[in-house]
Amino acid sequence: MANINISGIPEQEKANYTRLAEESGATSRSEWLRWRLRTGVQLWDCNGQIDIESVDELVVESRQKEKQLSNPENEIKRCIVHHLSTQEIATLDELQQAVFDELVIDALYELLKEGEVENIPGSGYRSL
């Protein structure tokens, strides 16, 4: 699949697209942009109006996808694939440590954002 190059927009907006692509589970910013382009084209009818039925269908699909992505098994699989290389072999111990570390870091980040825990510099974390 070809890459989509974007120009004529601020670097901040490009960075935001990259962040959104990473959060969505897309394999690249180009893939995420293709999804968005197709979605946008599908939503507008030939009169330049938004097709409400298509929007409703996409919302339902999106919610179903979010449920699948939030499944802990899928998160572990994503971490494993993320840490495997086509060039180097990873031992089971290395993979377990890498996946465990990533899951803990992600969970701590979410808990910090939600205000459930706080970071005590130089010491660790505690519950609020």
**Residues 115 and 91 both lie in one domain:** yes
Examine the domain organization and report whether 57 and 90 are in the same domain.
no
pLDDT at residue 46, as a whole number: 67
Q: Both 62 and 1 in a single domain?
A: yes
Residues 20 and 83 in one domain: no
Looking at per-residue confidence, does 48 or 120 come out higher? 120
Domain identity same for 59 and 93: no
User: Domain count of the chain?
Assistant: 2
Q: Does pTM surpass 0.85?
A: no
In terms of domains, do 62 and 84 share one?
no
Q: How far is CA 67 from the centre of its chain?
A: 13
Alpha helical stretches, state H, 4-119:
11-24, 29-43, 52-69, 72-83, 92-114
Give the domain-ending residue among 70, 93, 114. 70
Residues 50, 93, single domain; the answer is no
Out of 22, 43, 70, a domain closes at 70
Same domain (yes/no): 26, 79: no
Q: For 79, how many CA atoms within 13 A lie in the half-sphere containing its CB?
A: 20
Q: Which of 50, 14, 48, 45 is nearest to 32 (CA)?
A: 14
19-78 confidence digits (pLDDT tens): 888 888 778 888 888 888 877 776 776 677 777 777 778 778 777 776 665 666 777 887
Burial class (CB in 10 A: 0-12, 13-18, 19+), 105: exposed
The pLDDT tens digits of the residues spanning 89-112 come to 888 898 888 888 888 888 888 889
User: In this predicted structure, what is the pLDDT of residue 67?
Assistant: 66
Of 70, 86, 119, the residue that ends a domain is 70
Question: Are 46 and 87 contained in the same domain?
Answer: no
For 23, the domain range is 1-70
Cα dist from 16 to 19, 23, 33, 43, 125, whole Å: 5, 11, 12, 22, 29
- Please indicate, yes or no, whether residues 81 and 26 belong to a single structural domain of this protein: no
Same-domain status, 80 and 64:
no
57 with 84, same domain: the answer is no
Are 45 and 55 contacting, i.e. CB atoms less than 8 angstroms apart?
Answer: no
